Amino acid sequence: MAPIACTRDCYDTCVFEPVKAQRLIDLRPSPLYPTYGFTCPRGRADVKRLYSPNRLRKPLIRKEGGFVEVSWGRALEEIAEALKSADPAEVLHVEYDGNQGLLTWYYPARLFNAMGAASTDYSICSAEGHAALKLHWGRSWGALPEELLSARSVVFWGVNAAVSFIHAWIPLRRSGARIAAVDVAVTETLKQASLPVVVRPGTDVVLALGVARELIRSRSYDADFISKYAYGFEEFARYVDEFTPEKVAEETGVGAETFYELVEFYRGRPKTVIGFALGRTLNGGDAVRAISLIHALLGDPLGFFYSNSGAWGIDFDYLRGLHLAKPSRVVPMGLVGEEAPKLRAMYVWNSNPAATLPGGDKICEAALRGDLFLAVHDVTMTETAQCASVVLPAPTYLEKDDVVYGYWHELLIYNEAVAEPVGEAKPEHWVVRELGKLMGLGGHPLLAEDPWAAVERALSPAGVSLSELKSKRIVALRRGDPMSFKTKTGRLELYSETAKSLGLPPLPAYTRPPRGLVLTFTSEPLHTNTQFTAENGPIRPVVYVNPSHGLSGVICLEARGVRVKAVAEPDPSVPPGVLLMRGIPKSLDGAPINAVVDGAPNPYGGTPRLNYSVVEVAKC
Ligand SMILES: Nc1nc2c(c(=O)[nH]1)N[C@H]1C(S)=C(S)[C@@H](COP(=O)(O)OP(=O)(O)OC[C@H]3O[C@@H](n4cnc5c(=O)[nH]c(N)nc54)[C@H](O)[C@@H]3O)O[C@H]1N2
Ligand SMILES: Nc1nc2c(c(=O)[nH]1)N[C@H]1C(S)=C(S)[C@@H](COP(=O)(O)OP(=O)(O)OC[C@H]3O[C@@H](n4cnc5c(=O)[nH]c(N)nc54)[C@H](O)[C@@H]3O)O[C@H]1N2
Ligand code: SF4
Ligand SMILES: [Mo]
């Protein structure tokens, strides 16, 4: 059978060979690059989820006594009426990467742009680092899998790759590459790294600038590369000179011995995987900037990998219809919860914001009070769907045709359905076009354009036609020229004139973190964000904490007057001052853990500081 790609928000974007008898019975990981014949526990759980009794099968409307099943016609009328009667600026669509398909994630935004609704800024995950990297490099993409996997040494910085990025981690472990890893706790990744480096939360920028200083002082940088391609070396060198090993130790907690080992590691010209999590900490965008610039000094413009989503030239804006219509306003994702009580209607697909966004609990409060009309299109009854006015059943990626790209590998995959839609599940593009018709927007050019014609147009800058993709099934995309820097000066800006022109600091900045206990998160192997609790069990609300704090058993975490309840587990691999949770659990009393998480946007891409919330511990 034709291959099919996992559409989950994941570095790996695995390619599977579906195995079918009467119905789909297995997804066999492709033996080829870069899936290499293995996968994660979520990959195979998709087969289990496909026909699970937990799937949504029919549209539901909330009534006094709970949800009742209704026809698609009735459900769509209800939603169309609510969207039509509201001021478009008070209608917000919330979607993210539950499924990375071009038709599933991107195209449906056209309805909301056509009506002039409010949009989010899509900042929750990786926007901060994308924006930060562009200030120096004019791009955010970097190494491809083959470049990363053939490296003799790799630094995993702010990413628990042993759990969240297994198709980089396992091949590198097998190849015998030397591994350094930088984190705020001794995670699974640090435990297996030859050079584990534990930093205080929010201080990575100091460590990276300290490394840069040593490389410059010892003349271990590529002076030819710098003079040929870079701008602002003198200013950069002057600036980093204040980041002495003493300052590094004082701010980051990394002692001289480990620090010099890391400098030595970088002299070996490793690749660095810069984790998305960095963009979710204090000074995180600045850390991403500084780490990437180490590779500028080393003369390796493909030395880092962050996300390659922008490398292929796929026109995501075209898919969302931004060439013809714009949202009336943009709400940062970290502030959607705060905004919820002021909205009239919210339409959610491909995400579970009540659980995953800071203050997402306020979405449910507003909806259950009756102040907010909430519609949710999902494959299962999520926390957000449980509060909705109308719930619509969606097909999983196994039940619909779509086009899938990766944010690490360069393969573009044509996914053909391998199962019939379960129950009355309908794809996202069909739903928004039907809603458009009911709202009198059916003739709008954004909705009149056939979804596949939109995909064809969006792929043309990437140099791929749909007919080629359909016949080959997998096409390798090409990235641009790594020596072409689309910055203000046209050079690799060590001192960023691009940032300056935007009113941002031209050099990576550092603000000393306030004192206090920092709540942070690391990935968990059995779940992707909040998914697969039905198949793999719930995510336990455990806070791992250094034994010196004397905490164990049920505790409350409090911030800004909000409390959540969790179980404290003493763990020496977490340093004092850090509270580490695995996955995105719920409070013991059922509230989302994100009720206490800080939604304030970071400065470059607006990503909220999910990995840096100062909390108080209270008895409860
Ligand atoms: N506290 C804390 N919060 C976090 C994070 C953290 O580390 N800590 N991580 C953050 C990050 S990095 C991210 S990316 C966000 C993720 O936030 P979300 O995108 O909300 O995460 P998921 O829980 O994966 O929700 C995806 C939803 O899409 C649905 N879905 C899957 N396939 C389809 C489909 O084909 N069609 C439709 N309509 N729906 C589908 C799934 O059933 C699921 O409900 O969470 C963020 N929130
Ligand atoms: N198994 C599994 N895989 C996943 C996901 C999942 O939920 N489960 N989610 C997917 C998604 S949406 C994403 S975005 C990626 C997640 O990829 P990343 O965002 O890179 O997240 P993690 O791999 O969880 O690793 C982040 C690490 O950063 C550390 N950290 C927190 N604060 C700081 C800091 O200030 N400095 C440093 N150096 N480290 C810090 C945390 O302790 C944690 O171990 O993974 C994807 N893959
Ligand atoms: S979640 Fe990631 S590792 Fe797991 S099957 Fe999907 S792409 Fe592969
Ligand atoms: Mo993410």
Cβ of 203 less than 6 Å from ligand 2: no
C-beta of residue 468 within 8 angstroms of C-beta of residue 324: no
- Confidence class of residue 511 from pLDDT cuts 50, 70 and 90? very high
261-271 pLDDT, tens digit each: 999 999 999 99
Give the architecture-level CATH label for domain 517-619: Beta Barrel (2.40)
Cβ of 523 less than 6 Å from ligand 2: yes
What is the DSSP track for 408-442? SS-EEEEE--SSPPSTT---HHHHHHHHHHHTT-T
**What pLDDT shows up at residue 405?**
98
**What pLDDT shows up at residue 277?**
98
What is the number of the ligand 3 atom nearest to the C-alpha of 35? 8
C-beta of residue 114 within 8 angstroms of C-beta of residue 88: no
Interval between CA 291 and ligand 4 midpoint (Å):
20
Instruction: Tell me the two tokens of residue 34.
Output: 């870069």
Instruction: For 142-306, give the CATH class.
Output: alpha beta
What is the DSSP track for 506-549? SS----PPPSSEEEEEE--TT-BTTBTHHHH-PPP-EEEE-GGG
User: What is each CA distance from 234 to 131, 240, 244, 389, in whole angstroms?
Assistant: 24, 10, 17, 59
**What pLDDT shows up at residue 335?**
98
For atom 27 of ligand 1, which residue has the closest CA?
Answer: 351
For atom 18 of ligand 1, which residue has the closest CA?
Answer: 351
191-234 pLDDT, tens digit each: 999 999 999 999 999 999 999 999 999 999 999 999 999 999 99
Among the bound ligands, the one closest to the CA of 42 = 3
Instruction: Specify the pTM.
Output: 0.98
Interval between CA 617 and ligand 2 midpoint (Å):
23
**What pLDDT shows up at residue 619?**
82
- Confidence class of residue 315 from pLDDT cuts 50, 70 and 90? very high
Quote the crossing angle between the two packed helices 204-217 and 245-252, to the nearest 10°: 170
**What pLDDT shows up at residue 223?**
98
Cβ of 417 less than 6 Å from ligand 2: no
Strand 411-415 vs strand 474-476: parallel, antiparallel, or unpaired? Answer: antiparallel
The alpha carbon dihedral of 480, 485, 487, 490 has a sign of negative
- Fold classification of 60-124+316-476 is Rossmann fold (3.40.50)
Three-class secondary structure of residue 146 per DSSP: helix
The structure tokens 């790209």 sit at 405
Among the bound ligands, the one closest to the CA of 612 = 2
What is the number of the ligand 1 atom nearest to the C-alpha of 395? 35
Segment 308-321 mean pLDDT: 98
Interval between CA 479 and ligand 2 midpoint (Å):
25
What are the respective helix, strand and coil percentages of the chain, to the nearest 5? 35, 20, 45
Using the predicted structure, report yes or no on whether residue 329 has a pLDDT greater than 90.
yes
**What pLDDT shows up at residue 541?**
97
Interval between CA 573 and ligand 3 midpoint (Å):
27
Using the predicted structure, report yes or no on whether residue 1 has a pLDDT greater than 90.
no
Segment 228-247 mean pLDDT: 98
Cβ of 202 less than 6 Å from ligand 2: yes
Cβ of 125 less than 6 Å from ligand 2: yes
Instruction: Give the angle 502-506-509 at the CA atoms, nearest 5°.
Output: 115
**What pLDDT shows up at residue 54?**
93
Interval between CA 477 and ligand 1 midpoint (Å):
26
For 534, how many CA atoms within 13 A lie in the half-sphere containing its CB? 17
Using the predicted structure, report yes or no on whether residue 22 has a pLDDT greater than 90.
no
What is the number of the ligand 1 atom nearest to the C-alpha of 385? 44
**What pLDDT shows up at residue 21?**
86
Mean pLDDT over the full length of the chain:
97
Percent of the chain with pLDDT over 90: 97
**What pLDDT shows up at residue 435?**
98
Of 20-24, 254-258, 390-394, the poorest mean pLDDT is in 20-24
Percent of the chain with pLDDT over 70: 100
Using the predicted structure, report yes or no on whether residue 550 has a pLDDT greater than 90.
yes
- Confidence class of residue 348 from pLDDT cuts 50, 70 and 90? very high
C-beta of residue 118 within 8 angstroms of C-beta of residue 92: yes
Using the predicted structure, report yes or no on whether residue 620 has a pLDDT greater than 90.
no
Distance CA 559, CA 84 (A): 38
**Burial of 174 by CB count in 10 Å (0-12 exposed, 13-18 middle, 19+ buried)?**
exposed
Interval between CA 6 and ligand 1 midpoint (Å):
15
Cβ of 581 less than 6 Å from ligand 2: no
What is the number of the ligand 2 atom nearest to the C-alpha of 525? 1
Instruction: Give the angle 326-329-331 at the CA atoms, nearest 5°.
Output: 125
Pocket of ligand 3 (CB under 6 A): 6, 8, 10, 12-14, 39-40, 42-43, 166, 528
User: What is each CA distance from 187 to 10, 152, 529, 552, 620, in whole angstroms?
Assistant: 19, 22, 18, 20, 28
556-575 pLDDT, tens digit each: 999 999 999 999 999 999 99
> Which of 163, 164, 195 to mutate for ligand 2's pocket (most ligand atoms within 8 Å of CB)?
164
Cβ of 208 less than 6 Å from ligand 2: no
**What pLDDT shows up at residue 44?**
83
C-beta of residue 559 within 8 angstroms of C-beta of residue 612: no
